[in-house]
Amino acid sequence: MNNMVQLLYTFLFHFAADPSESDDVSAKKVILAGSHFLVIPYLLAFAFLYYYLKETITALIAVCYIVWSLAVVFVIPKFQKNLEGRANVLGTGVLIVMLAFTISLGGFENSSYVLPFFGLANPLIALINFKPRDAAFWLAIHIVSILVVFFLQPYLPAHNLPPLVLSIVFISNSIVMSVLYFSIFVYFINQRDEAFRLLHVEREKSEKLLLNILPQDIALILKNEDRVIADHFPNVSILFADVVNFTPMSAQMTPIELVELLNEVYSYFDMLVEKYGLEKIKTIGDCYMVAAGVPRRRLDHALVLTQLALDIRDYVSQHEFHGHFLKFRIGLNSGSVVAGVIGQKKFAYDLWGDAVNTASRMESHSAGGSIQVTEATYDLIKEEFVCDPRGTIQVKGKGEMPVWFVIEKR
């Protein structure tokens, strides 16, 4: 059965659709052509029936409609490429034939109510494929055509068709149109479900992308509130990590190799950040910035960030990356910051404050393969980590500052 349906679809697609169009438009064109093509055997049977009953004009109308249906499949698509225009041409043809059919038989009863049955297909198809305004137009035309036949009926010649024939035709029309309308609604429901499924998929992609850019708490605020996002955090730790001798090393590598190297290293850092529940702020070239205590406050911000620094140092020292052994300078500082999102485009969650600048200075004044911390951080971690005093160093914009190297966890 599925093979037959697929074969029919392929056959109709060859004549009715255009391979350059979207799948949705092509499917709608095939359905329009198929709805006409599949009623040909039904109409052929009625052409013979009415010819046998000496209703020659009605039989001729049925034959004309068969010819029209064949034109719908094989001729009209060559001239009318636009889907909406083609549907209007087809709908007009259906309406004219149904009106002629009803009038030729003397009204609603003798025609087994073919006009109300078949004419309703036009507004339903327009409702599914196009705008509600188009469907309203076809519904109005359908109602007007019924009223026209109603007022003309007293003046139409009587046709004494056998009651059994009228019953058979009425039942046949009821079954055929019930199947057609059911198929239309099944198609509509499937299209609706597919649209909702795609919407859900796209929403999940958007959510995932947003959470890749912003912390979850901040993303929720952006989606639900229209306000500037800026918060003060009195107790935060910030880490900067930078590759030693990155510029001369990058001169010896192709751009792709360089990006692949950084991606491999920083992807592992990202995994560590997620493991410890920290917040990656950004990468600037070969510099990697992480914070603890934002946007969710935590008491162990310095401890957990120091542990991350040790993991980074140990991982880098034990691995080779694209034929290169790397050393990182790592600097930490603790203090208060302002965190938030600024701008309307390409926004990012960022930190501002003297504590951030000092953490950056700790990295730039550190030694390769070492983790340098300020006194503010040392006071928070000295009970848990072994630290080696480096003495005081001259820090740009800060003057003399005592600093320590973190050696290992106690």
- DSSP one-letter string for 181-204: HHHHHHHHHHHHHHHHHHHHHHHH
Q: Are residues 246 and 179 in the same domain?
A: no
- The torsion angle over the Cα atoms of residues 197, 198, 204 and 207, rounded to 10 degrees, is -130
User: What is the CB neighbour count within 10 angstroms for residue 216?
Assistant: 12
- Asked if residue 335 belongs to a domain, the reply is yes
Q: Are residues 93 and 239 in the same domain?
A: no
| Domain that residue 281 falls in | 228-409
Cβ 404 vs Cβ 367: under 8 Å? no
- Asked if residue 98 belongs to a domain, the reply is yes
- Asked if residue 223 belongs to a domain, the reply is no
Q: Are residues 104 and 180 in the same domain?
A: yes
Q: Are residues 370 and 338 in the same domain?
A: yes
- Asked if residue 255 belongs to a domain, the reply is yes
- The bridge status of strand 371-374 relative to strand 328-341 is parallel
- Asked if residue 162 belongs to a domain, the reply is yes
DSSP string computed for 75-141: THHHH---HHHHHHHHHHHHHHHHHHHHHHHTSTTTTTTHHHHHHTHHHHHHHHHS-HHHHHHHHHH
pLDDT tens track of the chain, all 410 residues?
556 767 766 766 666 677 777 777 777 777 777 777 777 888 888 888 888 888 888 889 888 888 877 777 777 776 666 777 777 777 788 888 888 888 888 888 888 888 888 888 788 877 777 778 888 888 899 899 999 989 988 888 877 788 888 888 888 888 877 887 787 777 778 777 887 888 888 888 877 776 666 667 676 766 666 666 778 999 999 999 998 888 888 888 888 888 888 888 999 999 999 999 999 988 888 899 999 999 889 999 999 999 999 999 999 888 888 777 888 999 999 999 998 887 777 677 889 999 999 999 999 888 888 999 999 999 999 999 999 999 898 888 888 899 999 999 88
Residue at a domain's end among 175, 207, 239:
207
Amino acid code (one letter) for 54: K
- Asked if residue 202 belongs to a domain, the reply is yes
Q: How many structural domains does the chain have?
A: 2
Q: Are residues 235 and 370 in the same domain?
A: yes
Report the alpha-carbon distance of residue 145 to residue 95 in Å, rounded.
8
Report the alpha-carbon distance of residue 359 to residue 343 in Å, rounded.
25
Q: Are residues 235 and 371 in the same domain?
A: yes
| Assigned token pair, 288 | 């990697």
- Asked if residue 215 belongs to a domain, the reply is no
**What CATH number corresponds to the domain at position 391?**
3.30.70.1230
Q: Are residues 194 and 232 in the same domain?
A: no
Q: Are residues 149 and 264 in the same domain?
A: no
- Asked if residue 125 belongs to a domain, the reply is yes
